[in-house]
Amino acid sequence: MTQHTLSAAQQLDANDRFAAYRNEFYIPEETIYMDGNSLGLLSKRAERTLYKLLESWKTLGIDGWTEGEHPWFYMSETIGEKMAPLVGGAAAEVIATGSTTTNLHQLVSTFYKPVGNKTKILADELNFPSDIYALKSQLRLKDYDADTHLIQVASRDGRFLDEDMIIEAMTEDVALIVLPAVLYRSGQVLDMEKLSKAANDRNIPIGFDLCHSVGSVEHSLHDWGADFAFWCTYKHLNGGPGSVGGLFIHEKNFGKAPGLAGWFGSKKEAQFDMDHTMDPAIDSGAYQIGTPHVLSLAPVIGSLEMFEELGMAAIRERSLKLTGYMLELIDQELSEAGFTIGNPLDETRGGHLLLEHAEAARICKALKKDGVIPDFRAPNGIRLAPVALYNTYEDIWHTVQKLKTIMNEKRYEQFENKRSVVA
């Protein structure tokens, strides 16, 4: 059992090789940032590569497409190659492009091929709403009733999913499976290997939303046999608000025509032939639709350098240590405060914790007033994310102490128990 004192927390930080990486980031003054699972902080490296790309535009003009340190024409592929180790994919299987939901639309358009009685899409009832909106709209585009053709596996407790229940729902009428890798509220990490094997055995294409897992947990998508995956880069990858997303296409699916075709999905050497018959890239590059968003890709280049240096195994190990330490402190200091732990207590938890409380919205407001940035999730969730690259044990110690004071003194009562427009 770890000693739960400030000096003990400071000693843990002093012995931690990650401590130097905190200096790579801009930490808001007099703030403990615990919301990196919603928006990661700006790093000095990301800032530097953004300025480099601005400079290439400034000095090279249109020649920036093929010249300079980071030629724009190839940026999506080169960043994809850097992201590939984070998801357990080969370089050709990963591309930096689009956004979470546009990439999902692209992938469903490609892999959802209803035939005969095999017409349904399998998802779950705890997934992030945007994914469900996209799946329903894709069903409507094919004139199917989303109420009957979207299967959403139920949760027994409103927090977690049971992989065996999901597998039981992989029936003969299912044409596609889309699931989260990490549940956005509870932080549960699904057994993607088990689910992929079950789907493969039943010849059902399966894909995963990695938005809350990429950069915080390890993946082996290629070895697991997942057909596809998609993710954002602005949470644990610290690419900046609205930064370009990513997608994975297993090499077994190379050559499959993308459902949504666009010019930048062409083979590089053929793109400027201007032929009206598309000659698509053979790999994940085929799934690009439009011109790369160069200035939104730029910060991701710098951010990924730190993931290359440290490796996902070390990042995951530190993440588990930080969340484990926070759970110990919560158990010791907040046992009488009326909180329920809403995340897994074992290593099936992702990079954030969930505290449930009837007064969650106003508690989050009180935390922000005291300099802690949390994240509220309706109806009663407080998400706290001690991020491996920049949060410290001391951050965690102070966060729990501030929360204890807020609860003991009922400071939250001065706020309305209602979320802000952006929660």
Query: Which tokens go with 341?
Result: 């732990």
Query: Does the annotation list 131 as a binding residue?
Result: yes
Beta bridge partners of 247: 95, 230
Neighbours of 12 (CB within 10 A): 20
Query: Does the annotation list 234 as a binding residue?
Result: yes
Q: Detail the DSSP E strand segments found in 127-236.
A: 150-153, 174-180, 206-209, 228-231
* Backbone torsions φ then ψ of 372, nearest 5 degrees: -110, 130
Q: Do 262 and 291 contact (CB within 8 A), yes or no?
A: no
Query: Does the annotation list 97 as a binding residue?
Result: no
Cα 204–Cα 209–Cα 210 angle in degrees, nearest 5? 130
Q: Do 376 and 419 contact (CB within 8 A), yes or no?
A: yes
Return d(Cα 161, Cα 422) in angstroms, integer. 27
Return d(Cα 103, Cα 85) in angstroms, integer. 20
Name the nearest CA neighbour of 81 among 307, 294, 242.
307
Whether the CA torsion 279, 131, 351, 251 is positive or negative: it is: negative
Return d(Cα 293, Cα 245) in angstroms, integer. 10
Return d(Cα 52, Cα 50) in angstroms, integer. 5
Report the half-sphere exposure of 288 (CA within 13 A, side-chain side). 31
Query: Does the annotation list 110 as a binding residue?
Result: no
Cα-based distances in Å from 224 to 199, 229, 371, 392: 11, 12, 42, 33
Contacts 24+ apart (CB under 8 A), 80-83: 80/246, 80/284, 80/285, 82/301, 82/304, 82/307, 82/308, 83/214, 83/233, 83/237, 83/246, 83/304
* Backbone torsions φ then ψ of 279, nearest 5 degrees: -115, 85
Rounded to an integer, what is the distance from CA 79 to the centroid of its chain?
Answer: 16
Query: Does the annotation list 2 as a binding residue?
Result: no
Question: Pairing state of beta strands 353-356 and 228-231?
Answer: unpaired
Q: Do 327 and 1 contact (CB within 8 A), yes or no?
A: no
Q: Which residues line the annotated binding site for pyridoxal 5'-phosphate? A: 100-101, 128-131, 209, 212, 234, 263, 291
Q: Which residues line the annotated binding site? A: 100-101, 128-131, 209, 212, 234, 263, 291
